[in-house]
Amino acid sequence: MTQHQVLINGQWRDSLGNKTFQAVNPATRATVEGTYPVSPWPEIAEALEAAHAATVAMRGWSGKRFARFLDAYADAIESRADEIVAMANFETALPVEPRLKNGEMPRTVNQLRQAAEAARDGAWAMATIDTQTNIRSILGPIGPVAVFGPNNFPLAFNSIAGGDFAAAIAAGNPVIAKGHSSHPGTTRLFAEAAHEAAQATDMPAGFVQLIYRTSHDDGARLVSHRYIGATGYTGARHSGLVLKEAADRAGKPIYLELSSINPVCILPGALEERAEAIADEFTGSCLMGTGQFCTNPGIVVLLESEAARAFLKSVAEKFEAAPVGTLLSGGVEQHFRAGIVHLQRAGAHIVTGNQPVDSSRFCHANTLLEVSGDDFVGNAVPLQEEAFGNASMFVFAKDEEQLVQIVESFEGNLTGCIYSETSGSDDALYDKVAPALRERVGRLLNDKMPTGVAVSPAMNHGGPFPATGHPGFTAVGIPAAVRRFGMLQCYDNVRSHRLPPALQDANPTGTMWRYVDGAWTQGNVGS
């Protein structure tokens, strides 16, 4: 049996530990040949030492160095794209086409190249110069970043290739990647490419490192270690909160993406105008990736009416007619079923689905639930527990007042959508609903489902707790996501030749945007 290695301090090598795990093919429930190590603490401590040494070695490095790595890595991934996609499909059962090959893979390399561009350009660091006081500041590298990747995006959020990885590197930091146990082979292939790119671009040995799994205690030790600058975590709420507590206690920034049910409010005029189109959009969005998106629309709020009931019926029929996708793992299947049971116990009723479908793979029927507005408002906390998978719950408000009350009972979410009638007949109700929803979500959408998360400078893939740990940050979108991994470094009266180039009078690239004496400029100071 193949025993896979960890990547520590620039070397692929056998783990120091003797615990292992194996990947499972979700489409067959079959265990995959080859074991992956659970890294014991001494191995993690070595990774921390090596990452710290890398930080020291890279002090003062220009962003170009990191850009060169990111570009080389994107090229290396592209040259192995088919292999990586095939492995991701094998380990996650996400379809090769269009999902992995035409969606997530191009997004992943595009993200790395955008990060390279940001690193090369340098404007992400918001160089700020006050000539009157000769005080100058800039975001500098925060130090080694631990990245915990989620199960649901094996490529675009992979711990060693995804958004947090790209952002941490663009800010000039080494990364210790903790792969997700449900796709270790995919992560390993990425790490091979990352390691080759790091060697080809002369990066220090501890620049990119990979471990596959740790104990919970060691995870907490990792994120709170004195050598750690910050942590990026995307995954289940419970595990994330354990890491958050450890990191918070040590005063180490941790950026979390935990859970979100992404409410969709469909106002009466919109339903009257285009119920069928919305039902199609909703069904597509909700069942995409077998419902395993961070931004999956898990709750739909409607005003009680015949039209709303007809809409539910139409969606139910579409859910029944749609193929049942495969879930990412046995754990996801189990939690998904338990989540539906929790929602039922809290007062929700099954409209359709909620039965086993095919015991040869991990899956569960496309499931719709419903609950009255009265019940929702009376039991709002348990009724907002995420059932991660191909399910959604309809809430029927008895009147407009209750609809607003429902929205006001929402916890923090990544997204919130409002569908309204095109010519404005819903506008009065929109104006009641939108302000309450706005404060509870990172991204507010109109007439659009939330599952697309563009890599745009204006994107917010974030939101108030418990969607994330801080409502001021986004995990997607450059340059904002990069700034999470910077520390604010101020220079007061520092002699000019000792300043980082970005803070010297002459603009080092001739194009970098800097904030000089209260105005943004690409020019030199004094010009």
Site for a second copy in 227-256 (CB under 8 A): 244-245, 248-253
Task: Looking at residues 412 to 431 of the shown chain, list those that interact with a second copy (rule: CB under 8 A).
Answer: 412, 415, 430
By CB under 8 A, is residue 119 in contact with a second copy?
no
Among the listed residues 106, 457, 501, 508, the single contact to a second copy using CB under 8 A = 457
Whose Cβ is closer to a second copy: residue 89's or residue 415's? 415
Whose Cβ is closer to a second copy: residue 182's or residue 402's? 402
Among the listed residues 484, 502, 507, 512, the single contact to a second copy using CB under 8 A = 484
- Percent of residues in the chain assigned helix, strand, coil, to nearest 5: 40, 20, 40
Among the listed residues 139, 197, 223, 482, the single contact to a second copy using CB under 8 A = 139
Among the listed residues 103, 162, 325, 462, the single contact to a second copy using CB under 8 A = 462
CB 287 within 8 A of CB 297: no
H or E segment and range at residue 245? helix 237-249
Which H, E and C letters describe 39-102, residue by residue?
A: CCHHHHHHHHHHHHHHHHHCCCCCHHHHHHHHHHHHHHHHHCHHHHHHHHHHHHCCCHHHHHHH
By CB under 8 A, is residue 488 in contact with a second copy?
yes
Strand ordering across the sheet containing 254-257: 11-13, 6-8, 208-211, 175-178, 145-148, 230-234, 254-257
CB 292 within 8 A of CB 332: yes
Among the listed residues 16, 45, 494, 525, the single contact to a second copy using CB under 8 A = 494
Residue with tokens 């000089």: 516
Active site residue 333: no
Whose Cβ is closer to a second copy: residue 3's or residue 522's? 522
Query: Minimal distance in Å, beta carbon 159 to a second copy?
Result: 22
Query: Minimal distance in Å, beta carbon 513 to a second copy?
Result: 5
By CB under 8 A, is residue 527 in contact with a second copy?
no
β-bridge partners, 128:
137, 515
Task: Looking at residues 250 to 289 of the shown chain, list those that interact with a second copy (rule: CB under 8 A).
Answer: 250-253
Q: Which residue, 18, 40, 25, is CA-closest to 211?
A: 40
One of 192, 257, 281, 333 is an active-site residue; which one? 257
Query: Minimal distance in Å, beta carbon 212 to a second copy?
Result: 29
Task: Kindly indicate which of the ranges 10-18, 81-89, 296-304, 488-496 contains the residues binding a second copy, using the contact rule CB under 8 A.
Answer: 488-496
By CB under 8 A, is residue 30 in contact with a second copy?
no
Residue with tokens 């105005």: 519
Query: Minimal distance in Å, beta carbon 495 to a second copy?
Result: 6
By CB under 8 A, is residue 133 in contact with a second copy?
yes
The string of DSSP letters for 307-333 reads HHHHHHHHHHHHHHHSPPPPPS-HHHH
Question: How far separated are the first and last CA of the chain, in Å rounded?
Answer: 66
CB 178 within 8 A of CB 146: yes
The token pair at 296 is 């999956």
Task: Looking at residues 94 to 113 of the shown chain, list those that interact with a second copy (rule: CB under 8 A).
Answer: none
By CB under 8 A, is residue 27 in contact with a second copy?
no
Pairing of strands 367-372, 413-419: unpaired
The token pair at 35 is 């074991």
Query: Minimal distance in Å, beta carbon 443 to a second copy?
Result: 4
The token pair at 523 is 């020019």
Among the listed residues 51, 53, 109, 129, the single contact to a second copy using CB under 8 A = 129
Among the listed residues 1, 2, 238, 498, the single contact to a second copy using CB under 8 A = 498
By CB under 8 A, is residue 445 in contact with a second copy?
yes
Among the listed residues 470, 505, 509, 524, the single contact to a second copy using CB under 8 A = 470
Query: Minimal distance in Å, beta carbon 38 to a second copy?
Result: 28
β-bridge partners, 489:
138
The token pair at 227 is 């050598």
Q: What is the rounded distance in angstroms from the CA atom of residue 206 to the CA atom of residue 18? A: 23
Q: What is the rounded distance in angstroms from the CA atom of residue 219 to the CA atom of residue 202? A: 29
Annotate each residue in 41-70 with x if it binds a second copy (CB under 8 A) or - if it does not, as one string. --------------xx--xx----------
Active site residue 417: no
* Residues near a second copy (CB under 8 A), total: 73
Residue with tokens 């909160």: 241
Query: Minimal distance in Å, beta carbon 306 to a second copy?
Result: 27
Query: Minimal distance in Å, beta carbon 270 to a second copy?
Result: 12
Task: Kindly indicate which of the ranges 63-71, 307-315, 374-382, 447-455 contains the residues binding a second copy, using the contact rule CB under 8 A.
Answer: 447-455
Q: What is the rounded distance in angstroms from the CA atom of residue 446 to the CA atom of residue 433? A: 12
Whose Cβ is closer to a second copy: residue 42's or residue 424's? 424
By CB under 8 A, is residue 375 in contact with a second copy?
no
Among the listed residues 206, 324, 466, 502, the single contact to a second copy using CB under 8 A = 466
One of 91, 104, 192, 294 is an active-site residue; which one? 294
Cβ-proximal residues to 442 (8 Å cutoff; 6+ apart), any chain: 413, 414, 415, 460, 461, 462, 463, 464, 467, 468, 471, 474
Sign of CA dihedral 269, 274, 276, 281: negative
The token pair at 235 is 């995954």
Task: Looking at residues 393 to 412 of the shown chain, list those that interact with a second copy (rule: CB under 8 A).
Answer: 412
By CB under 8 A, is residue 473 in contact with a second copy?
yes
Just list the catalytic residues. 257, 294
